[in-house]
Structure 1
C-alpha cells in the first residue's frame, strides 16, 4: 500500500467571492486605472490595489495596516489572483495618493456604473451630511484636502475636531451611490448646490427628486434647484413657520395618510401613530429687496407620535423648571440670593437651561423686613398655544400637485430615514458587516 501525503492549505473565504463579483460588475479596477494609469511594468495596477482595500474593508475591517498579512490568511490570491506579498504598506499608500486628486470623479463614475449595471432607479435621491469626531492634533494639514477642524459635531463632542461627510442614497433600496468629504467647519447649507450638480452628472438625467433635511432650505439653494429644474422635498426650518400657523389648523380638515412607520409595524392598528396632512403655500424671500421671492408648496404634517413626544418633553422641562424655581423661591433673601440682581441672574439661567423663557413670568419683591422675595408662574395662554402646535411640522417642495399630492409628498419624504440608516451602518455596524455577510453566505 502506498501512502501519499498532500499539503493542505487552509484560508478563509468568507465574503470574498461576493465582494469580487460586485467589484467586477462595478468595474472599480477599470475605472481607477482609466483615471489613474500606471506603468505597464508594475506588478499591480492602482485599480487592483483599491479592489483589495475594498475587499479588506468588507471582510475584516481594522486599522489599515498589515493588509498583506490579511491577504495571506484569506483566499485573496485564489479569488482575486493577487499575491499577498505585493500588498505592502508602501504600495497601498502609493495607490491612495494616486486616487486622492480625482476622488470626486472616481466616486461619481462608480456611482453611475452602479446605477447602469444594476438598473437602480435614481429618480429619487436622499442626501444628508454627518460629522465624525477625531482624536489627535492634525497639524500641517495639506490644504488641497478637507481640513480637520472644530465646529458643531453631531455627537456634541465639542472638545474634539471633526471631519464631515455627505452621502446620497437612492430611494430604490437605499443604495449609496455618491459621497463626499468636507472640512470639519464647512456649513451644511453651502454644500447642497455642489452635491446637486454632482448628482445630476452621476444620475445622467435632468429630472430627479432630491430629498434632504432642513439645511436645503435657503434662498440660494432653492434658487439653484429651481434654475436646474431639480425637484426637491425638505422640511422647513422651525424658525420659518411660526407656531401660530399650526395652531390655526384643524385636524378635522386634514387628510389621513396611509403610512405606517417601521417602529409601529408590530403594534396593533389602534396603537400606531397616525399622520395627517394639509396644504398651503410658503413664500421664500431673498436677502435683498430686489431678489424675486419663490412660492413653494407647503405640506403641513401632523404626527400623533410627535405630538405625544413633544407633550412629554414639555411636561418634563416644566417640572424640572418648577423644581428649580421653588428652590430659588425658598432661598430668596438668604445668604446666596440676597439681592434682586442675584435672583434675576439665577432666573435667567433656569429659563435658558430648562427652555421656559417664553412662558415663565416672575416678580421679585420684598417682604416687610426688606428681604427679597420671588413669585413665579407659567403663562397658561403661552403653554396652550405651544400645545396647539404639538405634532406639526412642514415640508416644502416644488413638485406640482399633478406630480404628487400632499400625502405623496409625505410618503416620499419618509424615505429620508434610509440615508440615516446607512450612516448608522457605517458608524456603528461597520465592524460586524464582514461577519454578518459571511454568515449570510
Structure 2
C-alpha cells in the first residue's frame, strides 16, 4: 500500500510507514505491507496482517502462519503461498510445528537450476496430472504433467510441473527476444566502420548489448576484411609527379547464425515450474491446490483497483490501520 506525503509524528504502537520494495514502482513513496489470507473453499478472505513498509515478504510468513494457527486452533492446514515462502527458515518452522505447506521454487534456487541443467540433455518420466479448459477459449485446454525429483536435505518433496500453455508462452517469449535481437543486428550492420563503431572492441560491446538475453541462441561473428589502397605521400595537389604508397585498409562486418543446440535445449525446459511441499498428497493434488494461489492475487487486485484503496487522504498511522481494517471487512463480507 503506497502513501505519498510526510508523516513526522508516527504512532509508536501503529504500523510504520517506511520506504521499501514498492510494487507500484514508486521508490520515492512510503508504504505499508498488507498480508491477506483466504480460504481454499470459496477463496473467502480469512484474515489479514499489516507490516512495516520496509518489511520484505519472506519474513512475513512465520508471524502470519503463527497467527493463522492461533485463529484456526490447529496447525495441520495447508499453507499455500508464493515463492517468498521458500526459505529454509520458513519451511522448517512450519514443518517443525506440525504444519503443511505448498509453494513454488524460485528459478535461482539450486533445486531448479540442477534439474533444468539435467533436463536440457535428458528425458524424465512425466506423469499426466489433469487438464483445464481455458475460460476464455472454449475447447482449448491446458495439459499438466508432473515429475517428482529427489527430496531436499530437509526431506521436502520437489515436484516439477509441465504446463502446455506455459510451454507455448515460453517459446513465444524466447522467439520474440530472438527476433528483436536479429532486427537490432540488421540495424547495426550499416553503422559499422564509422564514428564509435570503428574498432572490434567497440563493435563487440554493441553486439554484447544486443544479444545479452539471447547469447545462447545467436552466434555473432565479427569478420575483418582488408584491401590495399594507394595513399598520396608527396606534398601538393595530385599530379603525374605525385608519390603514392600502398596501404592496407581494414573494415569490419558482422555475421550471425542461430545456435540450434541452444534452441533445442531451451525447448526441452519450456513450460516447467517446480513446487515444494511436505504434504503426502499425490503430485497432481499438490498442483491442484497450488493453483488456488492466484485467487489471492485476484483478491488483492480487487482491494487495489475496484475498491480504490488509493488515494488515502489521512495522515495518522492508526487511522490508516483502521481504514485498512474496514477494507478487509468489505472484501470479506
User: What is the TM-score when the length of structure 2 is the normalising length?
Assistant: 0.77
RMSD after superposition: 2.4
The alignment status of 1:358 with 2:216, answered yes or no, reads yes
1:193–1:221 Cα contact (<8 Å) kept: yes
Residue-by-residue CA offset, 1:159-181 (whole Å, 9 max, x unaligned): 54433211111111111122122
Is 1:417 the counterpart of 2:294 in the alignment? Answer: yes
Deviation at 1:139, TM superposition (A): 4.6
1:387 to 267, 279, 284: 267
Query: Is residue 376 from structure 1 mapped to residue 256 from structure 2 by the alignment?
Result: yes
User: Which residue of structure 2 aligns with residue 232 of structure 1?
Assistant: 101
User: Hey, what does 2:285 align to over in structure 1?
Assistant: 408
State how many pairs are aligned: 283
State the Cα deviation string for residues 233-264 of structure 1 (Å, max 9, x = none): 0011112212234446658x433223425xx1
Equivalent in the alignment of 2:188? 328
Distance 2:216 2:59 in 1: 32
Distance in 1, matches of 2:250 and 2:8, equals: 60
| 1:254 alignment counterpart | 126
Higher helix share: 1
- Candidates 202, 220, 233, aligned match of 1:342: 202
Q: 1:119-138 counterparts in 2 under 5 A?
A: 132-138=1-7
Aligned to 2:39: 170
Distance 1:135 1:238, change over 3 A: same
Q: Structure 1's 248 and 302: CA in aligned 2 closer, same or farther, altered over 3 A?
A: farther
Structure-to-structure mapping, 1:42-441, within 5 angstroms: 132-139=1-8, 141-142=10-11, 144-240=13-109, 241-242=112-113, 243-247=116-120, 250=123, 253-260=125-132, 264-265=134-135, 267-269=137-139, 271-283=140-152, 293-352=153-212, 355-368=213-226, 369-400=249-280, 404-431=281-308
* Shift in Å, 1:370: 1.9
Do the aligned partners of 2:149 and 2:158 also contact (CA within 8 Å) in 1?
Answer: yes
Counterpart position of 2:229: none
Per-residue CA distance 1:183-228 (angstroms, 9 max, x = gap):
3332211221111111111111121110011111111111111211
8 A Cα contact 2:86 2:103, kept in partner = yes
Following superposition, the deviation at residue 299 of structure 1 comes to 1.4
Q: Which has the higher strand share?
A: 2
Q: 1:358 is paired with a residue of what secondary structure? A: coil
Higher relative contact order (CA 8 A, sep 6+): 2
Equivalent pair of 1:281/1:295 in contact (CA under 8 Å) = no
| Ranges in structure 2 where 5+ consecutive residues have no aligned partner | 227-248, 310-333
- Structure 1, unaligned runs of 5 or more: 1-131, 284-292, 433-441
